[in-house]
Amino acid sequence: MFGFLAGFYYWFPKMTGHRLDEGLAKLHFWLFEIGFLGVFLPLFYAGLKGEPRWQAYVDPKFGTQNLVSSLFAIFIIASVAVFGYNVLISWIRGEHAVTNPWGGRTLEWLLPSPVPLVNFEQSVVVTAGPYDYGMGGPRVMGAPAIAGAATDVASPAHPPHVDPEVRADMTRWGARLAIASWTMLALCLYVGYIYLDALNTQGQFHPANEPKPGAVSNILVTVGAVAAAAMWSYGYRLSRSGRLRPAGGWMALAWLLTVAGLVGDVVLFANLKAPTPLHAYASFMSLFIFFHAWHLIVALAITTLVLGTVFRHKLVGREHAAQIVGWWLWYAAVVSVVLIVITATIG
């Protein structure tokens, strides 16, 4: 986690063209550091004294250490809130970053921030060692040689010119990769659930007092997800033929069904009435509901953005965005169908 945060701070200027606020960044660090030490040091001490890990109930003799750990978790929660706020305001109206704010010695820092879609006008040939750029001082960025160039200069393509069809195709591939990565996560969740159900140690995977999600609510949410995907796809087809007004209507219906599906997930979770603390089965049911709800939250965000372009009559040349939204809605529908099959047949 510390490595991820360090990398995020380091490359945020390169990705967005803005620097994160330094004061908020320091506050984030100290809250996270204090919270981290306060959470884990008491647990390490309890472990040395014999407390086993990964159990639902805490032995009263280790209660103090676990209470201290739980209280310090508040610092971590606060640090995440500060971090999220910093990212949001810095991205919107933060200080503009210079090309190389850190004196980095790798190729990405030769490019403008954010990086243009076309990076260099020519292929770059590096003639020095990987960290030998700017050897004149610790904060000076050198330049690698370009093939055939008389001097060591690497010129970024500016302004970048990308054929609209190429840009659309690249965006589609990005969406495919995103959906593939989420599919891998979903498979891990499904396989873990199936494995634990098959293992069913001492018959405790699904105790009799832990209910399944309501069948009727589950079916309604699934039907709504499939219908939303179908309506959006139909609207997309209409938009491609230039019929933007009816296309917007069908897409708006898909948006409303997505909202209804999200409300359905909330109702589904509320009616689950899972016991506390959660065991494996109830934890999986809750996770599956939140997993589907997360897909609908993303769907709401992207459908809202695309609907804005439709109603402002600015979808021309951006039809691929509506197509990608349709892919995501169909993916959310498939996730819903798989979940209803798994929860109905296993456990």
* CATH number of domain containing 314: 1.20.120.80
**Nearest residue to 67 via CA among 51, 43, 37:** 43
What are the tokens at 133? Answer: 């750029």
pLDDT at 192 over 50: yes
- Same domain, yes or no: 130 and 175: no
Higher pLDDT, 40 or 134: 40
Using CA atoms, how far apart are residues 128 and 137, in angstroms rounded to an integer? 16
Using CA atoms, how far apart are residues 302 and 322, in angstroms rounded to an integer? 9
Instruction: Look at residue 260 and tell me if it is in a domain.
Output: yes
Average pLDDT over residues 337-341: 85
Higher pLDDT, 157 or 333: 333
pLDDT at position 156:
54
Instruction: Look at residue 249 and tell me if it is in a domain.
Output: yes
pLDDT at 318 over 70: yes
Beta bridge partners of 44: none
What are the tokens at 65? Answer: 């250490």
Using CA atoms, how far apart are residues 146 and 127, in angstroms rounded to an integer? 9
H or E element: which one contains 344? helix 319-345
DSSP 98: P
Q: Please report which confidence band the pLDDT of residue 244 belongs to, taking 50, 70 and 90 as the band edges.
A: confident
Specify the residue for token string 């590096």: 126
**Nearest residue to 218 via CA among 294, 288, 303:** 288
- Same domain, yes or no: 174 and 72: no
Instruction: Look at residue 320 and tell me if it is in a domain.
Output: yes
- Same domain, yes or no: 65 and 199: no
Domain total of the chain: 3
Whether the CA torsion 306, 321, 185, 108 is positive or negative: it is negative
Range of the domain at 168: 164-345
**Summary mean pLDDT of the chain:** 81
Counting residues of the chain whose pLDDT is more than 90, the rounded percentage is: 29
Q: Please report which confidence band the pLDDT of residue 35 belongs to, taking 50, 70 and 90 as the band edges.
A: very high
Instruction: Look at residue 99 and tell me if it is in a domain.
Output: no
Counting residues of the chain whose pLDDT is more than 70, the rounded percentage is: 83
Per-residue pLDDT of 61-103, as tens digits, reads 898 999 999 999 999 999 999 999 999 999 988 888 887 788 7
Q: Are 99 and 109 in contact (CB under 8 A)?
A: yes
pLDDT at position 145:
44
Alpha-carbon torsion, ordered 133, 137, 139, 141, to 10 deg: -30
pLDDT at position 134:
47
What are the tokens at 285? Answer: 């049911």
Greatest mean pLDDT range, 126-135, 202-211, 225-234 = 225-234
Greatest mean pLDDT range, 91-95, 154-158, 244-248, 267-271 = 91-95
Q: Are 324 and 172 in contact (CB under 8 A)?
A: yes
DSSP 50: T
- Same domain, yes or no: 142 and 113: yes
pLDDT at 269 over 90: no
**Domain final position from 38, 64, 93:** 93
- Same domain, yes or no: 256 and 297: yes
